[in-house]
Chain A
Amino acid sequence: MNEVKTEKLGEAWPSVEVRYTHETTQVMAAEVIEKIPPLLTEFRCAYCERVFGSLSELQAHYTSEHPDAVVPRIITLHINSRYCQVLVEPHWTLKRTLQYRLGLTGTKEMCDKGVCGSCTVIMDGRPILSCTTLAVECEGKDIQTIEGIAAELKNKPLIDAYCKWDAMQCGYCTPGFLVTAKALLDKFPEPTEEQIKEALSGNICSCGTYPRHITAIMEASEKMRQGA
């Protein structure tokens, strides 16, 4: 499997002081996006880890060595305003692709069944569940992940409000909520409480932070409109 280097082994010591603020996380999110290569330069066999210089070489390898295996293919995704080539197998979900191919780990997996909303991304302006969306279906679509939202300064009021109001406890489901909230605010800049509840009803928080999201989104909505 051709995994993206999201961590460099053994280089993390000693830990350094990192203050997580809007400014630092905005930069970090932008860096994660920046790291995604636009073009594939190596083609790795999923079974024996051999690396080839082109897709045709990889396909030839599959034909000779793994004739029964599903041959991966190249797709081009448009994610967070950048085009990138990705090598995927046809059954790969967008969620799996984001984590294993692109290092976009802000999209979380909780239920793996399209129930909990933790894996939500925005596709062509609509929140969709990346755990039940095949990556090969996403070509030609405009996809925004939590990293893309975090990297844009205009979303600061929403992120600030989430942090100010503790719209999170353990925080695992939080990016999914925030992505859904962003899609809601794009559609309804001044949402009612009922619209917020309806929009976020597909996002599950085991920690029970639900009322916090309403408060945060209401406040963000007002600030975003004032700043617009």
Chain B
Amino acid sequence: MADLVGANGQRENFRIVGKPNTPGKLSYALATGIAKFGIDYVVPNMLHAKFLRSPYANAKVVSVDVTKAKAIPGVVDIVTWEDEDIKNLNSFGESFGPKRPWLDNYAEHEGAEVAVIVVAENEDICEEALRQLDLDWEVRPHLIDIKEGRKQDAPVIREPANEIPGLGGPGMGGGNPPRKGNVTYSNLVAGDIEAGFHEADHVIEYDLYLPPFACRFPNPSGSVAWWSDDFYAGEGRSLHIEGAVRERKAISNMYRMPLEKTVQEGLFMGGKYCDWGLRKSQEITPLLAKRTGRPVRCVNTREESFDFIMKERYMHMKVGFKDSGLITAVDDYSIADGGVEGSSSFGTSGDQRYGPYNTLKCQNIRQRMEIVDSNRGKMYVSGQHCPFNWDSGTMAVYLIAEELNRDPIDIARINLHGPTSQSDPTPVPSFEACVEEGKKLMNWSWHKAGTKRLPDSRLHGMSFRYQMCPRHAFSGYESKLELRDGVVHMATQGPIFGVFAVECNAMVVAEELGLEYDDISIDFDYREKFSPVGGGADGTTASAWVTKECANILKQRILEAVIEEADNPAPPSMFSFGQPQVPSPFKGLKPEDLDMADGKVFVKAEPSKGVPLAQAVKRNLFATYSGMPPLALWTQGMGRMLDTMNTAYCEVAVDTETGEVEILKLGVVADPGKIMRLTSLESQIDQVMYFSQGCQLLEDFCYDERTGVKLNNNMIDYKIPTMLDVPDVDRHFLESRAGNAAYGASGISHSLANTHLIIIAIHNAIGVWVDPPATPDKILEALGKV
């Protein structure tokens, strides 16, 4: 598509955009600990709050007596689900599925907030008060094993479903079988599956296990809120909250507060990894602060922070293909964890509609999913790894290659449709360029499974995957730039979460106005409308497109003002002291005769005639732009048309005596369309590859199935990669300029997140499948050695 309609979309020379090592505008605050995150706030007279957490996986609080707890010195307030204040609460945060009461007496997983909130002078007193509650529990049968839960004789764990369809909620496909027991069905059929298999020369069947994966917020979720009088926003009290996520609108709506009287000034949000759901600890503090008349802090412990960033799924795949390797039919059957009520449909039916097979020429696709209610836990919205069934296709490519003794890159090439449609047989230039560089990067030399032994006797394995970049930026952006006292200011709201989006936008402004990156002043103000994020990396490139338009409007206004001031110089003032005025070199010219570079306004025909920006124009100028770039191809078919692509590679060595896997090399060749900020692009790719490594080699969510209690919701037992675990990621970037956003950028977004790149490499080494996480014991078991 490329950036054909935007100003300077086809720019050839870049001074700033794409440059490495431009420090983040807030990096010094982060590195020095000056940055305050929500849970760091300590305000005078602050109280603390804690939720009652269910010790049971599925239970109801029948009654509670708070008398003893209330009598504890230091307990200030106790609120129960029966309190009118609680009944009146509604969440406006991003969430999926049917709406439950904000807090009730029903706990659907161990550790769930339920029934009671205690407010006290400190957290120790809160905990003591929770211990002193007299609770009458009705413990119900629970369900942790979703394969058991789908059986006819399994106990039904949820009361008849509140069939209010949420955004993308399960069972919305239409024509699905009715819900049965714990199972909701979601089936999608395209083409003629039977004809596809009939056409096939070969049929393969395989199983995949997609493991559950915990959200990994570095800063535990929580907030501090207080109410105060202020004279800026008119009469009535203002709500000040720190630690709520992203935009404060959700809190403003929840408490029916005008947005201008809802304050969230903190600039630092912590890592989100696309998990945008507001936790109760982030929503409750305004109510408790109002009830007590004092600031209230409520923060989840680390143990209380182990929600899902992706849920468990078992898949069985059947794929038909021709002797050429061309896939003719895909039959995808899965049993997915539906989690507790209100869990995100990303991870279940949302993934089905995300186009997992849309990059294929094959159009005979059947997806059947059984979504099983469980008491395992909650996935709030989305996550780093969603959609995560893309690797079902990666495995198909690999297995076809194995069957036909062909290179999987060739199999991928045969099956990838062309740029314009699934019927387009022409190659995708971005894909071709990626694999060409990828082969060089990896010194690619394919071998069949279990056939290559390294000199140290370990088995060698390798793998490959490709993806298109999903684009989520459908919304518009409102950019505002200001030339104030000779300095260009870019206004933006916080808080930030680590993708350096503000910086990308500032680089674009500097590029377009002929300034240096450091010349752009970023005015962080929570009241601003503009936010440079929204929808993954593509959100940044889309906002940068809008900012580019705005910068060019400002540039035009600057040049017009320069000419106007040159032709109409201000009369000498009393402070001129009789000194002669120097005539402007721009007098008599037109705006189109001028340009901007090196911090100066200059005459195009005579570049030596230049004046520093601050001297060339004295007045203050504003420019605004509201809009969005042309929609990305992905939004018009989710992979049925293709522009920018990316590829990832892995090489492992497996010790068959110890079961240890060493990643010898992770490689990524990616085409983000145009590199905007090199250092953070590299770092984001490291991040997603290490996320994926953790998922495939280390991370495991364990339960006691007898009680439904989570066993490893702490950072000792739930392992994530450390510096000693991760390999370097070899990266190579291409700039096809084929994206829809600024300068043809598209971003990478979730596309490199994977669940089976390393798992496939392990199979290629040892010739047998090991489900993730591929820990040494599982590898030895797969090899029949234990």
Q: Mark A residues whose CB is within 8 Å of B.
A: 1, 3-7, 9-10, 12-15, 17, 19-22, 24-26, 28-29, 32, 46-49, 65-66, 69, 99-100, 103-113, 115-116, 118, 145-147, 149-150, 159, 162-175, 178, 197-198, 200-213
**Of A26, A49, A107, A166, which is in contact with the most chain B CB atoms at under 10 Å from its CB?**
A166
B592 smallest CB distance to A (angstroms): 34
- Cβ-closest chain B residue relative to A7: B43
Question: Is B40 in contact with A99, judged by CB distance below 8 angstroms?
Answer: yes
Question: Is A20 in contact with B25, judged by CB distance below 8 angstroms?
Answer: yes
Question: Is A29 in contact with B33, judged by CB distance below 8 angstroms?
Answer: yes
Determine the distance from Cα of A15 to Cα of B73 in the docked complex, in whole angstroms.
Answer: 39
Determine the distance from Cα of A165 to Cα of B677 in the docked complex, in whole angstroms.
Answer: 12
Question: Is A25 in contact with B34, judged by CB distance below 8 angstroms?
Answer: yes
Question: Is A9 in contact with B715, judged by CB distance below 8 angstroms?
Answer: no
Question: Is B33 in contact with A146, judged by CB distance below 8 angstroms?
Answer: yes
What are 6 A-B residue pairs whose CB atoms fall within 8 Å in the complex? A4-B42, A5-B43, A150-B33, A172-B219, A201-B724, A209-B683
Question: Is A172 in contact with B226, judged by CB distance below 8 angstroms?
Answer: no
Is there a chain A Cβ closer than 8 Å to B333's Cβ? no
**List of 10 A-B pairs having minimum Cβ-Cβ separation, nearest first:** A106-B33, A171-B30, A169-B498, A10-B228, A170-B498, A150-B32, A146-B33, A208-B690, A208-B687, A170-B271
On chain B, the residues within 8 Å of A210 by CB distance are 686, 690, 722-723, 726
Question: Is B28 in contact with A172, judged by CB distance below 8 angstroms?
Answer: no
Question: Is A47 in contact with B44, judged by CB distance below 8 angstroms?
Answer: no
Known interface pairs A9-B228, A163-B28, A169-B683. Does A15 touch B271 (Cβ–Cβ under 8 Å)?
no
- Cβ-closest chain B residue relative to A9: B228
On chain B, the residues within 8 Å of A15 by CB distance are 265, 524-527
Is there a chain A Cβ closer than 8 Å to B46's Cβ? yes
Known interface pairs A113-B714, A169-B499, A201-B723. Does A10 touch B521 (Cβ–Cβ under 8 Å)?
no
**Within the complex, which residue of B31, B40, B686 is in contact with A162, where a contact is CB–CB below 8 Å?**
B31
On chain B, the residues within 8 Å of A197 by CB distance are 723-724
On chain A, the residues within 8 Å of B728 by CB distance are 211
- Cβ-closest chain B residue relative to A161: B31
Interface string of B714-753 (1 = CB under 8 A from A): 1110001111101011000000000000000000000000
- Cβ-closest chain B residue relative to A115: B715
Determine the distance from Cα of A9 to Cα of B680 in the docked complex, in whole angstroms.
Answer: 35
Known interface pairs A47-B125, A174-B30. Does A17 touch B523 (Cβ–Cβ under 8 Å)?
yes
Interface string of B110-134 (1 = CB under 8 A from A): 0000000000011011000000000
- Cβ-closest chain B residue relative to A2: B44
Is there a chain A Cβ closer than 8 Å to B295's Cβ? yes
Known interface pairs A169-B683, A172-B271, A208-B726. Does A48 touch B73 (Cβ–Cβ under 8 Å)?
yes
Question: Is B498 in contact with A6, judged by CB distance below 8 angstroms?
Answer: no
- Cβ-closest chain A residue relative to B503: A166
Determine the distance from Cα of A13 to Cα of B228 in the docked complex, in whole angstroms.
Answer: 11
Is there a chain A Cβ closer than 8 Å to B27's Cβ? yes
Within 8 A of A (CB), among B221-263: 226, 228-230, 232-233, 238, 240, 263
On chain A, the residues within 8 Å of B21 by CB distance are 164-165
Known interface pairs A12-B265, A150-B33. Does A100 touch B716 (Cβ–Cβ under 8 Å)?
no
Question: Is A13 in contact with B263, judged by CB distance below 8 angstroms?
Answer: yes
Question: Is A207 in contact with B220, judged by CB distance below 8 angstroms?
Answer: no
- Cβ-closest chain B residue relative to A92: B124
On chain B, the residues within 8 Å of A174 by CB distance are 30-31
- Cβ-closest chain A residue relative to B36: A105
Question: Is A178 in contact with B31, judged by CB distance below 8 angstroms?
Answer: yes
Question: Is B33 in contact with A107, judged by CB distance below 8 angstroms?
Answer: yes
Interface string of B18-29 (1 = CB under 8 A from A): 000101111111
Known interface pairs A1-B122, A6-B43, A172-B270. Does A29 touch B687 (Cβ–Cβ under 8 Å)?
no
- Cβ-closest chain A residue relative to B219: A172
Determine the distance from Cα of A167 to Cα of B270 in the docked complex, in whole angstroms.
Answer: 14
A120 smallest CB distance to B (angstroms): 11
**Within the complex, which residue of A12, A29, A66, A110 is in contact with B302, where a contact is CB–CB below 8 Å?**
A110
Question: Is B121 in contact with A47, judged by CB distance below 8 angstroms?
Answer: yes
B502 smallest CB distance to A (angstroms): 12
- Cβ-closest chain B residue relative to A96: B123
Known interface pairs A19-B521, A203-B723. Does A6 touch B42 (Cβ–Cβ under 8 Å)?
yes
On chain B, the residues within 8 Å of A175 by CB distance are 30-33
Q: Is the interface of B mostly helix, strand, loop or mixed?
A: loop
Within 8 A of A (CB), among B417-431: none
On chain A, the residues within 8 Å of B233 by CB distance are 13
Is there a chain A Cβ closer than 8 Å to B197's Cβ? no
Question: Is A159 in contact with B723, judged by CB distance below 8 angstroms?
Answer: no
**Within the complex, which residue of A107, A166, A201 is in contact with B27, where a contact is CB–CB below 8 Å?**
A166
Is there a chain A Cβ closer than 8 Å to B41's Cβ? yes
On chain B, the residues within 8 Å of A166 by CB distance are 23-24, 27, 500, 679-680, 683
- Cβ-closest chain B residue relative to A117: B722
On chain A, the residues within 8 Å of B527 by CB distance are 15
Question: Is B219 in contact with A110, judged by CB distance below 8 angstroms?
Answer: yes
Known interface pairs A116-B715, A170-B269. Does A208 touch B686 (Cβ–Cβ under 8 Å)?
yes
Known interface pairs A10-B230, A46-B122, A47-B125. Does A3 touch B28 (Cβ–Cβ under 8 Å)?
no
On chain B, the residues within 8 Å of A65 by CB distance are 73
Determine the distance from Cα of A115 to Cα of B720 in the docked complex, in whole angstroms.
Answer: 11
A193 smallest CB distance to B (angstroms): 10
Question: Is A115 in contact with B716, judged by CB distance below 8 angstroms?
Answer: yes
Is there a chain A Cβ closer than 8 Å to B39's Cβ? yes
A95 smallest CB distance to B (angstroms): 12
Question: Is B44 in contact with A9, judged by CB distance below 8 angstroms?
Answer: yes
Known interface pairs A13-B263, A20-B26, A208-B686. Does A146 touch B32 (Cβ–Cβ under 8 Å)?
yes
Is there a chain A Cβ closer than 8 Å to B35's Cβ? yes
Is there a chain A Cβ closer than 8 Å to B767's Cβ? no
**Within the complex, which residue of B33, B301, B499, B720 is in contact with A112, where a contact is CB–CB below 8 Å?**
B301
Question: Is A147 in contact with B240, judged by CB distance below 8 angstroms?
Answer: no
Determine the distance from Cα of A163 to Cα of B273 in the docked complex, in whole angstroms.
Answer: 21
Question: Is B23 in contact with A164, judged by CB distance below 8 angstroms?
Answer: yes
Question: Is A163 in contact with B724, judged by CB distance below 8 angstroms?
Answer: no
Determine the distance from Cα of A36 to Cα of B680 in the docked complex, in whole angstroms.
Answer: 37
Question: Is A163 in contact with B720, judged by CB distance below 8 angstroms?
Answer: no
Determine the distance from Cα of A203 to Cα of B228 in the docked complex, in whole angstroms.
Answer: 39
On chain A, the residues within 8 Å of B122 by CB distance are 1, 46
Question: Is B714 in contact with A111, judged by CB distance below 8 angstroms?
Answer: yes
Question: Is A22 in contact with B44, judged by CB distance below 8 angstroms?
Answer: no
A141 smallest CB distance to B (angstroms): 20
Determine the distance from Cα of A201 to Cα of B271 in the docked complex, in whole angstroms.
Answer: 20
Determine the distance from Cα of A21 to Cα of B522 in the docked complex, in whole angstroms.
Answer: 13
User: Given A201-B724, A206-B218, 13 other A-B contacts at CB below 8 A?
Assistant: A6-B36, A12-B265, A48-B121, A49-B121, A110-B218, A110-B715, A111-B302, A145-B33, A163-B27, A169-B684, A170-B271, A175-B30, A175-B31
On chain A, the residues within 8 Å of B721 by CB distance are 208
- Cβ-closest chain B residue relative to A13: B232
Question: Is A172 in contact with B723, judged by CB distance below 8 angstroms?
Answer: no
On chain A, the residues within 8 Å of B34 by CB distance are 20, 25, 28-29, 32, 106, 150
Is there a chain A Cβ closer than 8 Å to B354's Cβ? no
A192 smallest CB distance to B (angstroms): 14
B388 smallest CB distance to A (angstroms): 18
A47 smallest CB distance to B (angstroms): 4
A2 smallest CB distance to B (angstroms): 10
Question: Is A204 in contact with B36, judged by CB distance below 8 angstroms?
Answer: no
Question: Is A168 in contact with B31, judged by CB distance below 8 angstroms?
Answer: yes
Is there a chain A Cβ closer than 8 Å to B497's Cβ? yes
Is there a chain A Cβ closer than 8 Å to B37's Cβ? yes
Is there a chain A Cβ closer than 8 Å to B602's Cβ? no
Question: Is B683 in contact with A24, judged by CB distance below 8 angstroms?
Answer: no
B431 smallest CB distance to A (angstroms): 26
Determine the distance from Cα of A198 to Cα of B723 in the docked complex, in whole angstroms.
Answer: 8
On chain A, the residues within 8 Å of B30 by CB distance are 168, 171, 174-175
**Within the complex, which residue of A3, A29, A200, A206 is in contact with B32, where a contact is CB–CB below 8 Å?**
A29
Is there a chain A Cβ closer than 8 Å to B689's Cβ? yes
A11 smallest CB distance to B (angstroms): 9
- Cβ-closest chain B residue relative to A10: B228
Within 8 A of A (CB), among B264-310: 265, 268-273, 295, 301-302
